Amino acid sequence: MTNARPVEITRLYGTTPDAGRDGLWDTLREHHGPVAPVELETGVRAWLLLGYHENLAVLQNQHLFSRDTRHWSEVATSRVDPASARPTLSWRPNALYADGAEHARLRSPIVDGLARVDMSATALTVRRIADELVDSFVADGSADLVSEYADPLPVLVVNSLYGLPDSYGYMLGDLTATVLGEDARRGEEAVSRIHQYFSELVARKRERPGPDLVSWMLEHPAGLSGDEVAHQAALINNASHQATTHLIGNTMRTLLTDANIRTAHTDALLPVHELLDHVMWTDAPCQILPARIALQDTRIGNAEIRAGDALLIGFAAAHRDPAVRCDRDGYTGVSSGRRAHLMFGAGPHACPARELSRMIAAIAVTALQERLVGMRLAVAPEELRWVPSPFVRGLRELPITFAPGGPAAPETGEAPEPGGADGTPGPEGADGPEDDLLERLLNWWHGLRT
């Protein structure tokens, strides 16, 4: 890749300042305009899109910019193996990495499956899960809202859409955390267990279909094979987890540290959905999204992009672009522009679960405010530590204190556990004994914990 003038290449890894990267995006924009050359690791280069309109244009144009990372020149020259666990530019046989007709074929069962989810019943399930998580720490008067709440909650909700009891969700959350953890050997084992989990889930649903997302994807007219459905279910798990966790975490951090926002919210001037939009503008849970691959030589801003170059979607930078960034409203301190943020993507790959994820985050935040009286940060705001990733923008921990309380009062009309996606019990019954590979996987996981 080349650039019109001599440039200094910014290395994205290993440069997370405690105060976050907002200053970095501004400096890069000053030096390079709307597109900056960056290094993902030594010698591995990409273009970072900083401008709002440039990000939007690339997201929307799949003819010039492919989602299929196998087109990346680093892969074509074998410098990078796209099948490796590299989180940045890996490739998997799922909708996220497909273009055109193949993308439509793989995406349609996901979109149509999610459209069948009963949102009212799922809202009750989200609240039940939120209450049970709060119950586990409410008597202590202190908690880490990331590890004890925001992290497990999304995976438990998505697991409920598969019609499985929560115990499977805890296993999946644990395996996903191990994949992202620092122990490479355990991480590799977890990757293969997750693959096993989804293959076995599909096998179970083929045998005993029910009112759940996997059964709906299996019966979809697109006619995906069992293996393809397993890969799309794994995509749903991966795509839903961290972004939702950090949207909840970042929203709680905003409420706990920004008195203007907190007052506006408690005075009902800033309803929870507008609060979420404000956080997605100012504290986007995903600051960079990898990636699009240029299919032709093209020029954006000052950058001469070559076919095969990788472009990184810069959400956080786009949201700070002076071209769209309006002054904060004087009274509430809320970023204006509200829903025009790019946080759910745009174009053919735009998030198919926008409303579901907003609902999960809104209920999660509301439940904490209703249940935890006198909630405060347990450390000074500047002591909060960020996840050391150029892609995710979220906290490692969010320690809080509050007045110790009691368990939630049981709700009437609550969705039963395990919840089918329409709020009915899964076909296998509450905790009934199963004798299949999925059950054996669960027993293996229980064995590790005892």
Task: Quote the least distance from Cβ 345 to ligand HEM, whole Å.
Answer: 3
Task: Quote the least distance from Cβ 358 to ligand HEM, whole Å.
Answer: 7
Q: Which residue in the set 243, 255, 303, 311 belongs to the binding site for ligand HEM (CB under 6 A)? A: 243
- Residue 152: closest CA among 138, 132, 124, 123: 132
Q: Which is nearer to ligand HEM, 49 or 138 (CB)?
A: 49
Helix (H, G, I), strand (E, B) or coil at 367: helix
- List the interface residues with ligand HEM, window 245-274 (CB under 6 A): 247
Task: Quote the least distance from Cβ 189 to ligand HEM, whole Å.
Answer: 25
Q: Which is nearer to ligand HEM, 94 or 138 (CB)?
A: 94
DSSP letter, residue 286 = B
Residue 257 CB neighbour total at 10 angstroms? 14
DSSP letter, residue 399 = E
Q: Verify binding: residue 244, ligand HEM, rule CB under 6 A.
A: yes
The structure tokens listed for 129 are: 């899960």
B/e letters for 357-385, b = 16+ CB within 10 Å, e = fewer, are bbbbbbbbbebbeebbeebebeeeeeebe
Q: Verify binding: residue 202, ligand HEM, rule CB under 6 A.
A: no
Query: x/- site string to ligand HEM, residues 67 to 96, per CB under 6 A?
Result: x---------------------------xx
Q: Which residue in the set 171, 357, 372, 441 belongs to the binding site for ligand HEM (CB under 6 A)? A: 357
Q: Count of residues binding ligand HEM (CB under 6 A)?
A: 25
Contacts of 14 (CB under 8 A, 6+ apart): none
* Interacting span for ligand HEM (CB under 6 A) from 192-200, 218-226, 238-246, 299-307: 238-246
Q: Verify binding: residue 420, ligand HEM, rule CB under 6 A.
A: no
- Residue 169: closest CA among 87, 109, 102, 236: 236
DSSP letter, residue 149 = I
Q: Which is nearer to ligand HEM, 44 or 343 (CB)?
A: 343
Helix (H, G, I), strand (E, B) or coil at 386: strand
Query: x/- site string to ligand HEM, residues 41 to 70, per CB under 6 A?
Result: --------------------------x---
Task: Quote the least distance from Cβ 450 to ligand HEM, whole Å.
Answer: 31
- List the interface residues with ligand HEM, window 107-166 (CB under 6 A): 107, 110, 158
What is the longest distance spanned by two Cα atoms in the chain?
A: 67
Query: x/- site string to ligand HEM, residues 379 to 418, per CB under 6 A?
Result: ----------------------------------------
CA distances to 119, 127, 273 from 355, rounded to whole Å, are: 9, 16, 10
* Interacting span for ligand HEM (CB under 6 A) from 49-57, 232-240, 249-257, 375-383: 232-240
Q: Verify binding: residue 356, ligand HEM, rule CB under 6 A.
A: yes
Task: Quote the least distance from Cβ 335 to ligand HEM, whole Å.
Answer: 16
**Taking a C-beta distance cutoff of 8 angstroms, is the pair 79, 72 a contact?**
no
Q: Which residue in the set 55, 160, 178, 240 belongs to the binding site for ligand HEM (CB under 6 A)? A: 240
Helix (H, G, I), strand (E, B) or coil at 2: strand
Query: x/- site string to ligand HEM, residues 271 to 300, per CB under 6 A?
Result: --------------xx--x-----------
Q: SS3 sequence, 302-347? A: CEEECCCCEEEEEHHHHHCCCCCCCCCCCCCCCCCCHHHCCCCCCH
Q: Which is nearer to ligand HEM, 24 or 110 (CB)?
A: 110
**Taking a C-beta distance cutoff of 8 angstroms, is the pair 37, 43 a contact?**
no
Q: How far apart are the first and last CA of the chain?
A: 53
Q: Verify binding: residue 351, ligand HEM, rule CB under 6 A.
A: yes
Task: Quote the least distance from Cβ 337 to ligand HEM, whole Å.
Answer: 17
Q: SS3 sequence, 78-108? A: CCCCCCCCCCCCCCCCCHHHCCHHHHHHHHH
Between CA 263 and CA 193 the distance in angstroms is: 46
Q: Which residues are bridge partners to 425 per DSSP?
A: 419
The structure tokens listed for 53 are: 């309109």
Q: Verify binding: residue 344, ligand HEM, rule CB under 6 A.
A: yes
Q: Verify binding: residue 349, ligand HEM, rule CB under 6 A.
A: yes
Residue numbers of the site for ligand HEM (CB under 6 A)? 67, 95-96, 107, 110, 158, 235-236, 239-240, 243-244, 247, 285-286, 289, 343-345, 349, 351-353, 356-357
